Amino acid sequence: MPQKMKESNASTNSGSSEGMIKIALADDHTIFRDGLRRLLALESDFEIVAEAKDGTEVMPILEEHAPDILLLDLRMPGADGLTLLQRIQTNKLKTKVIVLTASEDEGEYVQAMKYGTSGIVLKQTATDLLIKSIRKVHEGEIWLDSRTTAAVRRQFASPSDSGGPREREKPALSNREREIVACVAQGFKNKEIAEKMFISEQTVKNHLHNIFDKLGVSDRLELALYAIHRNIRPL
């Protein structure tokens, strides 16, 4: 059964302040999960609402507690992390997922990004960076550290993508295009970008088509990685 927090936490959840970030943990290693809970509980704006030690417990937790953030291990019994990411994406749940993994498999990082994770954090990462990643993802950003960014970019790089003359010849983005790229990197969908920028959804699609051509990327994930790597922000 999914582990629920003590009654004191449950009551805090029902009357928690607006600034609290509700977090669920999903990892089959009890010692690691206990240590993680204790570390995160030290942050005044974090609230651990539930825990899962098995993949089959995750979806019921998300449906019952609707946490803001799920810290998800990729390799668990019952249902693995990639399968759960697909289910979360299919069910259009609002919980944002940060994959917390010890895996060295770069292919898994790529699949996790394709299935909608908002961040990837290696288990050997310093605690302060994990805490920062939770806050950044909660704010709507995508979180990849330098190592995972490099790994995912390698998976998408074409043989000719050497960062040489081809890179310098890319046409400059307009300020509007930079705004759209920044929104994509933060995980916004076309409809959300349109509402945010007071333009039609078709206009967003047209801009994205031009951006893909200019930058030589083929999908939103590559575009988001490009934006993160180049630190693209509106002018």
Q: What is the pLDDT of residue 235?
A: 60
Q: What is the pLDDT of residue 9?
A: 38
Average pLDDT of adjacent 10-residue blocks, the chain of 235 residues = 44 52 95 94 95 95 96 92 92 92 82 87 90 91 76 58 49 89 83 92 93 85 77 70
Q: What is the pLDDT of residue 14?
A: 38
Q: 0.75 cut: is pTM over it? A: no
Q: What is the pLDDT of residue 32?
A: 93
State both tokens at 227. Answer: 């934006």
Q: What is the pLDDT of residue 165?
A: 41
Question: What's the fold here for domain 165-230?
Answer: Arc Repressor Mutant, subunit A (1.10.10)
Q: For the chain, what are the domain ranges?
A: 3-156, 165-230
Check if CATH label 3.40.50.2300 holds for domain 3-156: yes
